[in-house]
Amino acid sequence: MLIARKSKLAGALALSIGLVTAGCGGMPTNTSLYSTKQPVVERTNFTLDVNTNAQGLPISEQSRLNGWFEAMDLRYGDRVTVENPSRSPAVFDAVNSLAGRYGLIVKDVAPTTAGYLQPGQARVVITRSTASVPGCPDWEAKSDMNYTNATSPGYGCAVNGNLAAMVADPQDLLEGKKGSGETVVATGTKAIDTYREARPTGANGLQSAQGGGDN
């Protein structure tokens, strides 16, 4: 009889704990220090079809393309490519010259985009990447009990969210920036040389300050 009472008491206690836990939103389940909320990079292609000629792009098309770059707020992190069926170097050079005003270099291979080009046309493609952390913030686990010593579902949201918001080129989150392997010593030591060669602030002596008297 005593055993039966203990069994019923344990069952009722377990049931009450389960109800409290369920009512509070459950306990965290991620027992590692690896954040399940990671930045996600999305790419969007924007296209503009331009008319070409033997010299590359007419002046009117250059003006239209430059206006499109301004409207798109072309900036660091964007990738500009040209779909050029005629393979004319003059078309590539014209687009590359306009993109160079914004500090960008045109790439050779353009991504696949919808639609067909008419004869005598080229397609300029801007590929823009954005980074975000889906599911943040996450306050799903509201229970005060944490029997597995797990991390919160929102663990990593702050760090990864700020990283996704501040990175200049979201593509760096996927593959990183590849260096050229070359080290320019003159540029690398310029700041150090400037600091070492600077004259001390008190090299010319102290300036005498005269206070104005009362009239």
User: Stretch 112-136: mean pLDDT, rounded?
Assistant: 92
Q: Name which of 34-48, 103-117, 169-183 the model is least confident about.
A: 169-183
pTM of the entire predicted model: 0.65
Name the band, by pLDDT with cuts 50, 70 and 90, for residue 1. very low
Res. 18: pLDDT tops 60: no
Res. 160: pLDDT tops 70: yes
Condensed to tens digits (0 to 9), the pLDDT of residues 56-103 reads 899 999 999 999 999 999 999 999 999 988 888 999 999 999 999 999
What pLDDT sits at residue 214? Answer: 58
Cα 215 from Cα 213, distance rounded (Å): 6
Q: Which helix (H) or strand (E) holds 201?
A: none
A 10 A CB-CB count for 4 gives: 8
Q: Which residues contact 129 (CB under 8 A, 6 or more apart)?
A: 41, 42, 43, 44, 77, 169, 170, 171
Q: Which residues contact 176 (CB under 8 A, 6 or more apart)?
A: none
Q: To the nearest whole percent, how much of the chain has pLDDT over 90?
A: 41
Give me the CATH topology for the region 40-132: 60s Ribosomal Protein L30; Chain: A; (3.30.1330)
- Which two three-digit tokens encode residue 75? 């900036």
CA atoms 169, 175, 180, 182: torsion sign: positive
Name the band, by pLDDT with cuts 50, 70 and 90, for residue 195. confident
- Which two three-digit tokens encode residue 187? 């540029």
Max avg pLDDT among 145-149, 180-184, 199-203: 145-149
Report residue 172: phi and psi, to 5°. Answer: -65, -25
Cα 133 from Cα 8, distance rounded (Å): 46
Question: Which residue stretches of 24-156 are H helix?
Answer: 59-71, 89-100
What pLDDT sits at residue 209? Answer: 62
Res. 4: pLDDT tops 70: no
Res. 13: pLDDT tops 60: no
Cα 205 from Cα 198, distance rounded (Å): 16
**How many CA atoms within 13 Å lie on the side-chain side of 20?**
10
Q: With contact defined as beta carbons under 8 Å apart, do 32 and 110 qualify? A: no
User: Stretch 177-193: mean pLDDT, rounded?
Assistant: 68
What pLDDT sits at residue 175? Answer: 83
Q: Give me the residue spans of the domains in the chain.
A: 40-132
Res. 196: pLDDT tops 50: yes
Of residues 49 and 144, the one with the higher pLDDT is 49
